[in-house]
Amino acid sequence: KRPAGAPDKSLARPVTKVGIVGAGLMASQLALLFVRRLEVPVVLTDLDQERVDKGVAYVHGEIDKLHAKGRIGQDKANRHKALVSGAIDKGEVFADADFVIEAVFEEMSVKKSVFADVEKVVSPECILATNTSSLSITEMAADLEHPERVVGFHFFNPVAVMPLLEIVKGGATDDATLATAFATGKALKKTTILVKDSPSFIVNRLLGRFMGEVGRIVDEGTPVPVVDGAFAGVAPMPPHQLLALVGPAIALHNVETLERAFPDRFYVSPALERVVAARKTSYYGPDGALDPE
Ligand code: CAA
């Protein structure tokens, strides 16, 4: 059955090569998913060789782990590893890509300049997907020559495990792009839903309200371990562990975007701001124990 709002799947174009902009943790998780499910060449790109090498090494390491666990045979592991490569210069490696996804810093100007650069080197029909978790797809596409090929393709952390994929139709996104996005999401074995191009889409908007209340409880003086302890057995992950997984800076960015859009409904927690200002990646101490500071 066609997912609600998805255009006719006959409009979908084949994806035979994937380009990924960024080689950080989210980008590398995406590379792993694309290579395992689509079995096509996947190229990770970033600003310097060290980051690119780290991204490719992550994917190779995860494939080795799957082999060691007996999930995939040696032949498949070798084949998948050979399909993943890295580059700094996108020019040549993206020229024959049909699907490019960006997973760079969550900042509109950065995303826009990435897409402007990518558009110079890809074919006019290559899909430009963004893994943004909160920003407007319409605005991101606005200055491009072909805004109709831009689509939101929002995954959740950890990418290998979380089943949902939010597909976001921007103001200019055409049916062929949307059909290709849905077909690709299906091939990646994700549950695809069409969401409106509104701040933080559906899941992060809901999470933003939830995390705002968590922040209020902490700001009112309840220690972090007590708040997290309250969740034992209720949710798969206590809230501050989820914050650590997502990254406090991304969580803060999300709630700030929402607060700008809906000032009466969202709360930016000073405790979260302090964690981000201190460049902490988590509310947990180095030994993994909860750190209420
Ligand atoms: N990467 C890859 N695989 C992982 C993983 C990771 N980081 N963490 C866990 N897994 C895998 C494990 O390998 C295991 O797989 P197998 O069963 O095949 O061996 C499976 O997940 C279950 O892992 P565990 O038994 O170790 O742990 P668990 O049962 O506690 O589950 C969890 C771990 C799936 C992460 C679970 O805690 C969970 O669902 N947490 C909530 C995560 C969540 O809500 N994510 C959304 C965040 S919001 C977001 O991402 C939006 C955004 O834009 C910022």
* 119 and 41 together in one domain: yes
| 77 within some domain | yes
Q: Which atom of ligand 1 is nearest to the CA of 69?
A: 19
| 293 within some domain | no
> Count of domains in the chain?
2
* 100 and 173 together in one domain: yes
* 188 and 216 together in one domain: no
* 150 and 188 together in one domain: yes
pLDDT at 286: 61
Of the candidates 195, 217, 251, which is a domain's last residue? Answer: 195
**Token pair for 171:** 């103001």
Cα dihedral 20, 24, 26, 28, rounded to 10, equals: 60
- Looking only at the bridges linking them, the beta strands covering 164-169 and 150-154 are antiparallel
In terms of residue numbers, what domain contains 243?
203-277
| Atom 48 of ligand 1: nearest residue by CA position | 156
115: amino acid identity, one letter: F
Indicate which residues carry an active-site annotation. 166
| 64 within some domain | yes
Ligand 1 centroid distance, CA of 195 (Å): 23
* 265 and 171 together in one domain: no
| 267 within some domain | yes
* 149 and 236 together in one domain: no
Q: pTM for the complete prediction? A: 0.94
Per-block average pLDDT, block size 10, for the chain (293 residues)?
85 97 95 98 97 98 98 97 96 95 95 97 96 97 98 97 98 97 98 97 97 94 90 89 91 95 95 90 67 52
| 119 within some domain | yes
* 140 and 257 together in one domain: no
Of the candidates 174, 195, 216, which is a domain's last residue? Answer: 195
Q: What is the ipTM of this complex?
A: 0.94
Ligand 1 pocket residue status of 25, Cβ below 6 Å: no
Instruction: Describe the crossing of helices 248-261 and 203-219 by its angle, rounded to 10 degrees.
Output: 100
Ligand 1 centroid distance, CA of 236 (Å): 9
pLDDT at 94: 96
pLDDT at 232: 85
CA distance 49 to 180: 31
| 289 within some domain | no
Ligand 1 centroid distance, CA of 115 (Å): 30
